[in-house]
């Protein structure tokens, strides 16, 4: 066998071995694509995302650009011309990945539109411009993980603001939170569990507003 042919075989063998080495890979599935079917759904296969001119920025750089999400987090962004938007769910870093994923690279996405969302429905509502309606606090409804309504109510109503000797308290604090949660609900962009949590917080703020007569208070944030 000629040396040149042998060298070629060796080079190809080395290349094959290198290509088969496991590499870390941040993966996602896209859950919503405005301009496609317009529905929230699991795309059913993994994507890797790379950014920059000709999608040359690496997978890790793209992960950092997307805000370094945790597993299960939803992130979304729009194209620079506003023609399309996508919502992704981060599926985690595969440290021993040897298979193939579909490249979903973006050159023309607008970083200023990137933000995290509670879920796909919230992301879709934001980019469709249709905030989700609210329907009041449902104590028996769903809440985000680690939120317990009774525990939160006990903690909130026992904050020092409620026992302060300041004549503007607790109304200043109550009205500030009441205004904050009202604005948050009006802005929308939250999933049903987070929306219910904010609705219930607002309901308690209104309850305390009435108990403490905040409608006639001179506190900065009232009435």
Q: What DSSP character marks residue 215? A: G
pLDDT of residue 50: 76
Angle at which helix 149-157 crosses helix 192-211, to 10 degrees, equals: 40
Contact 157, 163 (CB under 8 A): no
pLDDT in tens, 68-125: 888 888 888 888 776 788 888 888 888 876 666 677 766 677 777 888 877 787 788 7
Q: What is the 3-state secondary structure (H, E, C) of 60-89?
A: HHHHHHCCCCCCCCEEEEEECCCCCEEEEE
CA distances from 210 to 154, 175, 185, 215 (A): 17, 11, 20, 7
Contact 103, 52 (CB under 8 A): no
Burial class (CB in 10 A: 0-12, 13-18, 19+), 138: middle
Q: How far apart are CA 131 and CA 137, in angstroms?
A: 17
Nearest to 123 by CA among 49, 28, 34: 34
> Whole-model pTM?
0.49
Question: What is the three-class DSSP state of 82?
Answer: coil
pLDDT in tens, 36-52: 666 777 766 677 777 76
pLDDT of residue 103: 72
Q: Which tokens hold the place of 97?
A: 């990945």
How confident is residue 200, by pLDDT bands cut at 50, 70 and 90? very high
Q: Mean pLDDT in the chain?
A: 77
């Amino acid at each position: 066998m000629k040396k040149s042919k042998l060298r070629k075989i060796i080079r190809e063998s080395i290349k094959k071995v290198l290509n088969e080495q496991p590499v870390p890979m941040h993966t996602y599935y896209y859950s919503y694509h405005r301009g496609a079917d317009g529905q929230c759904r699991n795309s059913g296969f993994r994507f890797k995302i790379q950014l920059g001119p000709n999608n040359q920025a690496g997978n890790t750089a793209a992960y950092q650009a997307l805000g370094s999400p945790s597993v299960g987090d939803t992130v979304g962004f729009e194209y620079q011309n506003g023609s399309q938007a996508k919502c992704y769910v981060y599926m985690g870093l595969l440290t021993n990945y040897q298979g193939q994923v579909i490249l979903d690279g973006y050159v023309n996405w607008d970083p200023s539109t990137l933000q995290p969302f509670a879920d796909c429905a919230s992301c879709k509502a934001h980019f469709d411009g249709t905030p989700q309606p609210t329907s009041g606090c449902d104590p028996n409804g769903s809440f985000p993980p680690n939120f317990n309504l009774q525990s939160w109510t006990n903690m909130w109503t026992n904050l020092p603001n409620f026992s302060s000797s300041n004549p503007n308290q607790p109304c200043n604090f109550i009205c500030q939170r009441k205004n904050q949660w009202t604005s948050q609900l009006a802005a929308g962009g939250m999933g049903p569990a987070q929306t219910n949590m904010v609705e219930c917080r607002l309901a308690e703020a209104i309850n305390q507003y009435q108990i403490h007569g905040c409608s006639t208070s001179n506190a900065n944030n009232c009435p």
